[in-house]
Amino acid sequence: MTAQPPPRRPHRPRTGRAVTGATRVAALLTTTVLALLPAVPAHADGSGIRPQQWGLDALNTEEAWRTTRGAGVTVAVLDTGVDDRHPDLVGNVLPGKDFIGFGAHRGDRPWARHGTAMAGIIAAHGHGPGAADGVMGIAPEARILPVRVILESGDTAREKARGTRGSALAEGIRWAADRGADVINLSLGDDSESAHAEAGEDAAVQYALAKGAVVVASAGNGGEKGDRISYPAAYPGVIAVTAVDRFGGRAPFSTQRWYATVNAPGVDVIIPDPDGKYYQGWGTSAAAAFVSGAVALIRSAYPELTPAQVKSVLTRTARDSPAGGRDDARGYGTVDPAAALAEAARTRPADPRRATAGYDRRYFGPGPEPRRPDAEPARWLAPAGGVAGALALAAAVLLRRTPRTAPAEH
């Protein structure tokens, strides 16, 4: 059998007591660390959680909901799986596809944690009287299409997946596009030293764009580890998302590279978990999920806009733009769903046959500087081979009164 790049993993930085980070299984990025910290005053059932969702206020979500809440849109979440029985997601999760085929199952601790968290950020609808408990997603009426392309780092089958399911991401992207996904969320990445562009993945992204799907990916959690290039964020046409904190400052862990498009909340993000409890998470994974939710709102109200037009709308309306309009740390600024919807209303749909038009330039910014003689080898340009990755979200703080031992990785 021809050697394949190992599945990738979600992005997340070190925080608190180190446990481990999601590794190179069906997600994309370097090893990151997960820890459960002293409990935050909140209830495990989700009551009292909503006020802690600062990201909803930061993105002016209530204003965007005056136009749409994401009805009629399908967001494919390519990740570790999604818990369709979580009370905040019941009814919003479609039958999906498992491209790994083995590993943890429902009921096992290392199952669908990262994917459920991302789905919650995108399309959770809360629960209880008036849906006032639990978490609310950016697009609470959108549908989630779960596509399992990676395993949680605590899964004992991770090593097997790493060596035998390297094509899962590319296959999953194509499958999601063929099933009519309007948005494809890739909160995963490979920014290891051996990370490189993989032809099959690149082709799959271009295929999805040509089918009209908007592709969103986390920029990477390598901001404190060398800012190495992360894939799939660096593929042409992808909307790569960096992370900021509640004050709008760049999260230290967030990778700074030419492909940064926009930024979104990625620190102290409240996320749901298959164990029925709620956590705080850190990472560009969360930031990407917020942007996928924003894109879902745009596609719901203006479905005829092409992926290139959606990207353009997001960048033109981003707020708190860096000096000069864009930089590698924060892209064009913080995504603003309400402003993007207003701009979309003024945008004339382009020819759908030119769905990928607007991606003729290789880089969003000036691109990488020429390699100096003493620079590290450009191994990311190597042909397809063993690629590693890590889950981008650091699920860290269990939102309940009694702390508990954390799983190995998430």
Give the residue extent of every domain in the chain: 50-352+388-398
Known catalytic residues are 79, 114, 285
Domain 50-352+388-398 is classified in which CATH homologous superfamily? Peptidase S8/S53 domain (3.40.50.200)
pLDDT digits (tens, 9 = 90+) for 339-376: 999 999 999 998 765 555 444 555 545 555 444 444 43
Within 79-238, residue ranges assigned H as helices are 113-123, 158-164, 168-178, 199-210
Within 157-255, residue ranges assigned H as helices are 158-164, 168-178, 199-210
Write down the pLDDT at residue 195.
87
Q: What angle do CA 200, 209, 367 make, to 5 degrees?
A: 75
pLDDT digits (tens, 9 = 90+) for 241-279: 999 999 999 999 999 999 999 999 999 999 999 999 999
Mean pLDDT of 189-203: 92
Global confidence as pTM: 0.82
Element (H, E) at 58: helix 54-58
User: What rounded mean pLDDT belongs to the chain?
Assistant: 82
CB of 217 closer than 8 Å to CB of 293 = no
Within 247-358, residue ranges assigned H as helices are 284-301, 307-317, 337-345
For the chain, the C-alpha Rg in angstroms (whole number) is: 19
Residue 66 to residue 69: CA distance in whole angstroms: 8
Label residue 193 by pLDDT band (50, 70, 90).
confident
Q: Residue 135: is its pLDDT beyond 90? A: yes
Separation of CA 406 from chain center: 22
Write down the pLDDT at residue 362.
52
Q: Residue 48: is its pLDDT beyond 90? A: no
Write down the pLDDT at residue 403.
28
Please indicate whether residue 166 or residue 359 has the higher confidence score (pLDDT): 166
